[in-house]
Structure 1
Amino acid sequence: MEFTQKQQIVESLSNYIARHESQNKAAQSLKNVSAATISQMMNNNWDLITDDMFRNVAAQIGSSTEWVYVETTDYVKMTLCLEDAKKHSMAMGIIGAAGSGKSQTAKLFAAKNKNAYVLSCNEFWNRKTFLTELLTAMGYDSAGLTVGDMMAEVVRRLKAKDEPIVVLDEADKLPDQVLYFFITLFNALEDLCALVMCATDHLEKRIRRGRKLNKKGHTEIYSRLGRKFIELGGVTSTDVFKICSANGISDKSMVKAVVEDCENDLRRVKRKIHAFKRQMA
């Protein structure tokens, strides 16, 4: 890894630390990274820190040394929604197609704002895993705590923060027993903390279907989301043009090929651009 890349990661790390109560709290929010390692990075003592560790830190704090992110149409819309939710402690549901940039937008938002916590949800999470991940994202240890203790700690900590926001990315992956925690958090933190669920339209369909079947919790979740999901418009040709330009692809035929091949999926856009850059190298 180049020296300049490490400098960029450390600069991003400095901003990440500034959004936490202390450097140690920031370190606790990172997985497989010790407080000593963070201290060495910040003091420019890098000789014993591996490139893999730099990459690990960069991935968790939202720092990219190779790819330039662009403010797409959906990025702007979703960021405005997150800002509004954070400022007014609102609950929202945001849906968009796979590859529309929801996850990256949430991470970039958290990287720029204090007291913003993003959870990348998984199907295998149970209630304890969910709360452990949330406390870790906030920089707190959950060792030895029961589920009830962890929920109480989450609520207590969030109540003490200024305009906190919790974003549940890929919330449609959560099993019902964990999804119900959205109701618990809302009830305990209404008007004190923003709660946002992001997912594909599968989440909206799941909630609507649950309401029709009168399944436990689904009507309550729908009500707390304001009985409406905010839908992103998807990747546009203009977005793809901007991304190509920002990442070193200016040849019109190449740009056209990316637009025609990407199927409005930013992951495909990225892969196609990398392929062209390898050809140009």
Structure 2
Amino acid sequence: MKKQAVMPAWHFVETIASQTLDAYFEDAKMYGNVFAITGAAGSGKTFAAQRFSTIEPSVIHLECAEHWNRKIFLRKILAAMHKEPQGYNVGDLLDEIVSHLLIMEEPLLILDEADKLSDQVLYFFITLYNLLRGKCGIVMMATNHLVKRMERGRRLNRKGYTEIYSRLGRRIIQLPTLNKQEIISICEANGISDQPAAVEIFHECEGDMRRLEREVHKRKRKMLKQTQK
């Protein structure tokens, strides 16, 4: 059986978006601030959050999902904190989370893909803010759908939306998309040194980091096959 070639690890390159995220993560962590940050799908939000959570202590990174109810959401936070849930009802689970966070040094809770949460789960943001204000940073990350959802919720006077928006400082931060030079630098760091090839990848990936990684690996596999002939 022919052994399949293993592609090397992906090398991180700082971008304006990643630097922006790091700055807000650090601010929220140090001062217990709360932010909402949106960026296009594939802009590198999740990768930046994962990287920050491995570098810095007391960072809880949670990738949210549509099917979560309130209990699952709280249990997932505890699991991300490496804590075994002791309570069985929502109130007990919430008390556990708050008590753990309050004894941590400069804790930060990153709610990734927060726009996937249902209204009932999203309301927990208000409670968490009220109980942890100034003592735990919270960063809510999402696509631009969160902006539209907030605007619609406030316009229709839906329960909780005005309160959530107020606690976010009445502002949702928009990340910049990857620019041409950043994509070329990422290509170079990951083995694509040919400038015309990197420019082609820039036009093909449309600023999507997932597509960019796929295109880089595809071209590297092609280069590998050519050298093996």
Shorter chain as normaliser: what TM range?
Answer: over 0.9
Unaligned runs of 5+ in 1: 1-63
- 1:229 corresponds in structure 2 to 172
Q: Indicate which of 69, 80, 84 corresponds to 2:23.
A: 80
CA deviation map 1:75-112 (0-9, x unaligned): 01111111111111001000111111011111111111
CA deviation map 1:122-168 (0-9, x unaligned): 00000011011100111111155221100001011101111100000
In the TM superposition, what are the counterparts of 1:87-126 in structure 2 within 5 Å?
87-126=30-69
CA deviation map 1:20-49 (0-9, x unaligned): xxxxxxxxxxxxxxxxxxxxxxxxxxxxxx
- 2:4 corresponds in structure 1 to none
Q: Secondary structure at the match of 1:216?
A: coil
Structure 1 position 69, deviation (Å):
1.4
Tell me whether 1:198 sits opposite 2:147 in the alignment: no
Alpha-carbon separation, structure 2, partners of 1:127 and 1:212: 25
Unaligned runs of 5+ in 2: 1-6, 225-229
Relative to the length of structure 2, the TM-score reads 0.93
Tell me whether 1:159 sits opposite 2:74 in the alignment: no
Relative to the length of structure 1, the TM-score reads 0.76
How many residue pairs are counted as aligned between the two chains? 218
Structure 1 segments of 4+ aligned residues over 3 angstroms from their partners: none
In the TM superposition, what are the counterparts of 1:1-281 in structure 2 within 5 Å?
66-281=9-224
Identity of aligned residues (%): 47
Structure 1 position 242, deviation (Å):
1.2
Structure 1 position 184, deviation (Å):
0.5
CA deviation map 1:208-264 (0-9, x unaligned): 110110100000000000000111011111110111011010012211111111111
- 2:227 corresponds in structure 1 to none
Alpha-carbon separation, structure 2, partners of 1:132 and 1:143: 10
Structure 1 position 65, deviation (Å):
6.1
> Aligned in 2, Cα 1:65/1:136: closer, same or farther, shift over 3 Å?
farther
Q: Secondary structure at the match of 2:104?
A: coil
Alpha-carbon separation, structure 2, partners of 1:185 and 1:260: 42
